[in-house]
Amino acid sequence: MTDCPMCRKWQDDADLQIAELEQCYVLLNRDQFFPGYCFVFTREHVTELFHLDVATRQAVIEEVNDVAAALAAVFKPAKMNYELLGNMLPHMHWHLVPRFTTEPLWPKPIWSEPHDEVQLTGAEYAERIELIKDKLRDP
């Protein structure tokens, strides 16, 4: 679907690319208010878990799981949050968000209060991406 922003996101946010997996792309969220917040989204334009055949669904989940494990290892959060919503953008994308007891919003969901975006410098994005890449390659 050429009018789907998620179908274009891998190219549009090239500076945030972490990994091209078999089923999914992994991208750092430009807003790093929650340090380590990543998107894991399918290469194919699909929407619901139950639209996938079982092998594809399980492969997607193993990739979501591997990224969550890498984020937990790198950022050492109190809890990982995993969200598959898609009300605004139905192309399947998982929000993987390391959560910390030191956050202003803890322990509430990330959407419970608005926040100003936290943008990093190019070098800071690159460093954070490299840490996650390394952990994904060598768990």
Binding flag, residue 135, a second copy (CB under 8 A): no
C-alpha triplet 47, 134, 30: angle, nearest 5°: 50
Instruction: Give the other-Cβ count within 10 Å of 136's Cβ.
Output: 20
Q: Residue 38, exposed/middle/buried by CB under 10 A (0-12, 13-18, 19+)? A: buried
β-pair type (38-42, 24-28): antiparallel
Interatomic CA distance for residues 132 and 67, integer angstroms = 8
Selected from 79, 127, 130, 134, the binder of a second copy by CB under 8 A is 79
Selected from 47, 56, 125, 126, the binder of a second copy by CB under 8 A is 47
Selected from 13, 33, 72, 133, the binder of a second copy by CB under 8 A is 72
Identify which of residues 5 and 109 has a Cβ nearer to a second copy in the complex.
109
Binding flag, residue 45, a second copy (CB under 8 A): no
Identify which of residues 124 and 134 has a Cβ nearer to a second copy in the complex.
134
Smallest separation (angstroms) from a second copy to the CB of 120:
24
- 5-34 residues near a second copy, rule: CB under 8 A: none
Interatomic CA distance for residues 75 and 32, integer angstroms = 12
Selected from 8, 58, 124, 127, the binder of a second copy by CB under 8 A is 58
Binding flag, residue 118, a second copy (CB under 8 A): no
Site size for a second copy, by CB under 8 A? Answer: 35
Interatomic CA distance for residues 135 and 68, integer angstroms = 11
